[in-house]
């Protein structure tokens, strides 16, 4: 068996096409979805990510309000800017790019964002709503993963899903989404982590394995059953002299071996990554509709 590739790049393109049509329809009603992006400092990875978000907004017609701030900005000034965006009716989503400089309290900054504009889905109010099954912004990477599974035609209801990794960004919110009584859930979910005694004992029974460990090749072929669906969230740099940059990107899954056993698998790069920004756009459009009482 050779696994069918779930292309995040293709799916992201499809969803962005759907969103572009929605944005055009909203503009006909005089509504332009607006996303405020706040970047503090010169972190190269953050700068690259923000540029990609700006480009994606332009592609589908979202107004991108870019705020690039010096690394020595005071916490007080940053909080004041967030409050300004909270009160701006043309802004439907606020994204504060992490990490922040050490002199700024990240928790305080994230709490300052209006939960109704928290398109990242990390505000405790939105996390709480997700846990109890109320409508809330779903965190972008977990939501992207669920969309990949659903759109590949994989049955989630009743499926045995094992998530390897318990981060606040992927593992925990994904588990909560998948266990809800909803069209995106109704799965039986197990979460494994660094203190799990025998991870393979759980993964070998799984219909769907999601690897979010942060370590290359940490999910190997002997850990998955024939026909399992494998979602690789990891992005790891490994040295490669044949590449211009001197490295290549691989995931948390031993792709070559696992793809010979799995029914579906996501690649790295081109898998989960492109879906994350796309779901940020999705949340921004959704927020603009909620703000204007459009269902």
Annotated binding site for NADP(+): 165-167, 235
Query: Containing H/E element for 259?
Result: none
97 is catalytic: yes
- Pick the catalytic residue from 65, 85, 118, 120: 120
- Backbone torsion region of residue 194, taken as left when φ is above 0, otherwise alpha when ψ lies between -120 and 50, otherwise beta: alpha
Q: Which residues contact 293 (CB under 8 A, 6 or more apart)?
A: none
Is 120 part of the annotated catalytic residue set? yes
What are the strands of the beta sheet with 93-96, ordered from one edge? 63-69, 34-40, 93-96
Q: Please identify which of the residues 85, 97, 147, 232 carries the catalytic annotation.
A: 97
Q: Are 151 and 186 within 8 A, CB to CB?
A: no
Binding residues: 165-167, 235
Residues 6 or more apart from 40 whose CB is under 8 A from it? 69, 70, 71, 73, 78, 96, 97, 100, 101, 104
Phi and psi at 253, nearest 5°, equal -110, 140
Whether 276 contacts 105, CB under 8 Å: no
Asked about 53 being catalytic, the answer comes back as yes
Residues marked active site are found at 53, 97, 120
């Amino acid at each position: 068996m050779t696994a069918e590739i779930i292309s995040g790049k293709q799916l992201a393109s499809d969803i962005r096409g759907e969103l572009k049509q929605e944005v055009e329809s909203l503009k006909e009603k005089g509504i332009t979805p607006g996303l405020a992006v706040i970047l503090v400092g010169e972190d190269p990875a953050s700068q690259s990510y923000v540029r990609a978000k700006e480009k994606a907004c332009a592609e589908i017609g979202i107004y991108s309000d870019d705020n690039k701030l010096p690394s020595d900005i005071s916490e007080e000034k940053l909080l004041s800017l967030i409050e300004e965006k909270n009160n701006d009716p043309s802004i439907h989503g606020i994204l504060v790019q992490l990490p922040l400089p050490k002199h700024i309290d990240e928790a305080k900054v994230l709490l300052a964002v209006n939960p109704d504009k928290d398109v990242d889905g990390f505000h405790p109010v939105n996390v709480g709503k997700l846990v109890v099954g109320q409508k809330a912004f779903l965190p972008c990477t977990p939501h992207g993963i669920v969309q990949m599974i659903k759109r590949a035609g994989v049955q989630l209801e009743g499926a045995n899903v094992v998530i390897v990794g318990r981060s606040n960004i992927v593992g925990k919110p994904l588990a909560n989404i998948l266990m809800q009584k909803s069209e995106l859930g109704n799965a039986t979910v197990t979460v494994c982590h660094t203190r799990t005694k025998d991870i393979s004992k759980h993964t070998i029974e799984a219909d769907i394995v999601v690897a979010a460990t942060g370590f290359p090749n940490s999910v190997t072929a002997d850990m998955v059953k024939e026909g399992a669906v494998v979602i690789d969230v990891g992005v790891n740099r490994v040295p490669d002299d044949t590449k211009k940059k001197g490295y290549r990107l691989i995931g948390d899954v031993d792709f070559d071996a696992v793809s010979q056993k799995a029914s579906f698998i996501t690649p790295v790069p081109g898998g989960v990554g492109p879906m994350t920004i796309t779901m940020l756009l999705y949340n921004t459009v959704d927020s603009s509709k909620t703000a204007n009482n459009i269902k």
